[in-house]
Amino acid sequence: MLPPHHFIETCPDLRMILDLSYIPAFRHWAEVPFTTIGPGSRRGLVRIFGTKVKAVETEAIQWLVDTQFEQFKRLGIEEESIPRLSPAHPLGLTLVDMEHSLYVV
């Protein structure tokens, strides 16, 4: 049997497949290998970090995920306001959530 990522890698609509990770039966799939940075997110990263971020976009998004709780605290965002998909999910944004939140037209 092929591993789950084989199907996802060969599927033309990665976003739809990635969204399946929000369903409990699919939650064991790691989303990190399937996170891609689109043009809107690239523009968002440039707004945050400046043009030099273009060489390290993936690392920049990972840093945002890794430090999000420090940033929420710094900005005075209370724990109950930290985003999560549902009470069953952990607090905070995943790598995919962060990539989606950076979208700039």
- For 17-67, the pLDDT digits (tens) are 666 666 666 655 555 566 778 899 999 999 999 999 998 998 999 999 999
CB burial string 26-61: b at 16+ within 10 A, e below: eeebebeebbeeeeebbebbbeeeeeebeeebeebb
> Cα-flanking dihedrals φ and ψ of residue 45, to 5°?
-65, -40
Distance CA 63, CA 53 (A): 12
> Could you tell me the end-to-end alpha-carbon distance of the chain, in angstroms, rounded to an integer?
41
- In angstroms, rounded to a whole number, what is the distance separating the alpha carbons of residues 89 and 14? 22
The whole-model pTM stands at: 0.68
Q: Is the pLDDT of residue 2 over 70?
A: no
